[in-house]
Amino acid sequence: MTKKKTATPLLRGGQGGSALPSPDHRSAPERSARQQQLKKLRTDDARAIDAGIRRTVLPGGLRVVTEHVPGVRSASIGVWVGVGSRDEGRTVAGAAHFLEHLLFKATPTRSALDIAQAMDAVGGELNAFTAKEQTCYYAHVLDEDLPLAVDLVTDVVLRGLCRSEDVAVERQVVLEEIAMRDDDPEDLVGDAFLTALFGDHPIGRPVIGSIESIESMSAAQLRGFHQRRYRPDRMVVAVAGNVEHDHTVELVYRAFADRLEPATEPAPRREGRFRPHSVPELHWSHRDSEQAHLAFGVRAFGRHEGERRWPLSVLNTVVGGGLSSRLFQRIREERGLAYSVYSSVDTFSDTGAFSVYIGCQPENLGKVAGLARGVLEEVAANGITDAECARAKGSLRGGLVLGLEDSASRMNRIGRSELSYGNHRTVSETLSRIDAVTTEEVTAVARTLLARPFAASVTGPYRRTRELPAAVRKLVDGG
C-alpha cells in the first residue's frame, strides 16, 4: 500500500567551509568551444519539446531534463538513480536506503555540517528518498542558487564517502528509523502487507531493511553497492523552475566531468518480468494498541501496462480515493466504524498492488473487514456507475493539475518520467487520456483484478491467528 516515503531528515544548510563551484576561468574561445560541444549533444525529441521539456544526453549516458516554469523564482534539482531496494540481495536488504543516509555524512571536501550550512545559508532544502526501484537526491533553492544546488547534490551522490566511523553512527540512526516505523501501525501494516502479497521477493521486503540486515551490513558492502550501482548511465538529472536548459547542462557537465565515459549509452528503462515466489498470505503482528489496523489487496498491473493504468486509477478513486468513495461512505459516514479508510495503488515496472487500509477499534475489525470485502465484491459483480466514473475522472484531473503548480512537483514529474519511461507526455495528453477512460474499461479492470487471490496484514491486540476475526481470515482463504 502507498505510504510515506523513507527519507533522510530534512537538511537546510549553508556554505560553511566549502566553496561554490570553481569560477570558469577559461578564455572566451575555450568557453565558446565548450558550449558548441554541449550543443552537439542535444537529443531533444519532438514529444519532449511538445511537453515543454528539454532533454540532453551527455557522454556516459547521463540524461539531463529541464522544464522552465514561468512565474517562479525557484529551481528544483533532483538526481534520480535507477536503483532501489528491489536491487538488493537478502543479506544486504536496506542497503539502498542505508547508503542514501550515509552519503550525506561526508565528501572529500565537505563534512555533514558543511553540507547543512551550505544549504542553510541560502534558505534552501536538501533531502533524499529511497523507493523500491529508484533513489532520488534533491534540492529546492532560489533560481540564483542553482549552481550551488547542483554542486552540493552531485557532490553527495558521486563523492559521498562510506567511512567506517560514519557507518557506525548512521547504523544507529537507521535502527531508530526502524523502531519509529514499528511504532507507526499504518507504516508497519503497509510493509507487512507487501510482504504478505509478494513474499520474499525483493518487492516484498521493506525499503528500510530489517534489524538483522542493518546490524550486519559493513562499510565495504555499502561502498561496493555505491560503486557498482551509482553510474551516470543509470542516472537522470531533472531540473525545473526558472531555469535555462543550456546553462543547466553546462553546470551538470562540469559537476560530472570526471565520471563521464564517452562510449556509454543510457541504461535501458527497467522492464522486469515479475516471477512470484509465493502465494498471497495472511500476516499479523501483536501490538497492545487501542486500534486494529488492516491492509488487504491483490497484485495489480506493472508500469508498462499503460492501457490499464488510468482505468485502475479511476477504480481506485471510486473505491477508496476520496470522501465520496464507496469505502469511506459505507464504513465511516454511514456506520462510523473507522476514522481512516482508503484504497491505494503501488506501481512497479512489472507488477503492482491494489490495497485497502482501515484502522478501527479491535472489536469492530470483523465487521469492517466484511463491509470492505462487500464493497469490492459489489464492484467486481456490477461495475461502477457512469456518475462515479465522471466524478473520479474529475478528481484525477484536478489532482494532477493542482499538483504541478511548483517547481518541486514539476521536477519530480519529469525525473520519474525520464527514468521510468524514457519519454514525456504533455499535461494535456495526460488529461485527454484520463477523459478517455470509460465506465466499461473500469469495470473490466475491476473484474480482472478483484478475481485474484488476496493477501492481508493485521496489527493489533491479537496473539495467535485464531484470535483474528473470521471475516479477516476469509479475505485470504476465500471462505
Q: Catalytic residue positions?
A: 100
For 180, how many CA atoms within 13 A lie in the half-sphere containing its CB? 10
In angstroms, the CA 32 to CA 76 distance is 27
Q: Write out the three cell numbers for 3.
A: 505510504
User: What residues contact 184, with CB distance under 8 A and at least 6 apart?
Assistant: none
Which residues lie across from 128 on neighbouring strands? Answer: 137
Number of H helices, E strands in the chain: 18, 12
d(CA 82, CA 96): 11
Helices within 282-347 (DSSP H only): 306-320, 326-327
Amino acid at 345: V
Phi, psi of 22, deg, nearest 5: -55, 140
Quick check: helix, strand or coil at residue 45?
coil
- Write down the residue that cell numbers 465484491 correspond to: 377
Instruction: Tell me the residue type at 383.
Output: G
Strand pairing of 455-460 and 282-286? parallel
Residue 137 host element (H or E): strand 135-142
What are the residues whose beta carbons fall under 8 Å from the beta carbon of 38, sequence distance 6 or more?
56, 246, 249, 250, 253
- Determine contact, residues 448/271, Cβ cutoff 8 Å: no
Grid cell digits, residue 115: 553540507
Q: Are 389 and 439 in contact (CB under 8 A)?
A: yes
Q: Locate 302 and state its grid cell.
A: 506493472
Q: Which three cell numbers stand for residue 231?
A: 553510474
φ and ψ of 470, to 5 deg: -60, -35
